[in-house]
Structures are given as structure tokens and as C-alpha cells.
Structure 1
């Protein structure tokens, strides 16, 4: 049982490093890559992007070349900027994620809101 628990912890660490590794966007500035889920219903495509602590107004969400591009900035709240940091695992700074979309046409505007620490992007299917 102990070996199984250690293996699960090791797998979780690998997944964390995979999703929260700094990457380079088209602008050549370092960015981090938040994890995302894509779900499809009969009427819409739902994209959940893990963005704890990010205001939905601070996020740009656009459709480009058949993909949803979500970008923005995650910064420490001002009251924490002078705090002694003992652990900082949530990535900070610029983020960008391109999520390929299922084929089809989508109505505009793109609607997004914050739900339980995730950005929820709702793309209504057109026609």
C-alpha cells in the first residue's frame, strides 16, 4: 500500500510539472500553460480553464484558426506582495492556452465567467 501511495504522489508531481511548466508564446515572452477541459453538448461547447485567482475581466478569450486562445496575467494580490513566501506553487505571470475546438461555427460574442476557480468559456453553436 505504501509503494502505491508513493507512486500516486510521484505521478501527481509529474502531472503538475507537465501542466505548469513555463512555455513561450508567439510573443516570445515566457508564459505558463493552464490545464483545460473541453466538453460538448448539443447546443454548445464548454471549455474549463484552471485559473485560480484570476478575474474573468483580466482574461482575453478569442477564436483563432479553429482554436480558442485564452490569455491573461495572474499576479499576487497587492496585500501579499510584501509577505514572506514559504511556498509558491500556483504559477504567476502571463499565461496563454490554445485549445483546439470541435469543427463547426460558433456564435459571438464569446461568453466567459469564473466558476469554482476555473474560467468557464461557453461557445454557442451557430446554425
Structure 2
């Protein structure tokens, strides 16, 4: 077991690459969709135990009134829109890495009876705390 420890960095790096690839796939392979369908998915961190789940959803530049949070069939769904800031619209885009437009993220939950106990939008992240009802 002690011999495997020097190679632990390799596993950690592989996991990081896989997570990055998943984020890129969710973000960019949906850009061609049109209409009312979402164009991108925000990244989510989720922590929990048997009583509650806490989600941290990255939503840089999204105003609270431009999003909707719902509990639906054993999932939490966050929808909304990130608009291109008005003061940038007049200039030429030189680089655009932060996604704009409609977004939706559906996060499956391990159980189906939750209630939203706390919801805070701060520093570009939405923190949701869901308490298990049963």
C-alpha cells in the first residue's frame, strides 16, 4: 500500500481532467440549441448527509430575479438567463469565456422528499440548502 502512494497524484490528476472534460462538454456541446432551450449548464458542487444537502452553483453575473429554483421529481432544477452587460454590447468582443444566455441545471437528489431550507446568492454563487422531509 505504501508503494501506491507515490502514484496517487496520477489518479488525482486523472480525476481532475475527467471533471474538466465533463464541464466543457456540458458547457459547449449545447451551444447550438435554439429557441427557449438552455444554452449552458452552470457547474455544481454538492455536499450532504442523511438530513440535508447543500449545493453550490456557480452563476457569475446572474441576478436573483433572472433565475428560478424548483424541486421536481427527485431533482433540484435551476433555470435562468445571464445577459450580456449593456456597457459591453457597444464594443467588439475580444474574448468571451463566461457563458451567456439561457441556462438550466438539473441535479438529481438521492431522496425525493426535500424542502428548500435556505437559498443565498452571494459572490456569483447560489448556495441552496435542502432539508430532507422524512
TM-score normalized by structure 2? Answer: 0.71
**Cross-structure match for 1:3:** none
What RMSD over aligned residues (CA atoms) do the two structures have, in Å? 2.9
Change (3 A) 1:94 1:61: same
**Cross-structure match for 2:95:** 87
CA distance in 1, matches of 2:125, 2:83: 16
Q: How many residues align?
A: 117
Contact persistence 1:39–1:45 (CA under 8 A): yes
Which segments of 5 or more consecutive residues in structure 1 lack a partner in the other structure? 1-6
CA distance in 2, matches of 1:91, 1:119: 16
**Cross-structure match for 1:17:** 24
- Alignment match of 1:100 (pick from 105, 108, 111): 108
TM-score normalized by structure 1? Answer: 0.74
- Alignment match of 1:76 (pick from 77, 84, 88): 84
- Alignment match of 1:49 (pick from 38, 48, 57): 57
Which segments of 5 or more consecutive residues in structure 2 lack a partner in the other structure? 1-12
Q: Which has the larger radius of gyration?
A: 2
Instruction: Give CA deviations for 1:97-123 in whole Å, capped at 9, x if unaligned.
Output: 100012142125x64222332111111
Q: Does 1:31 align with 2:39?
A: yes
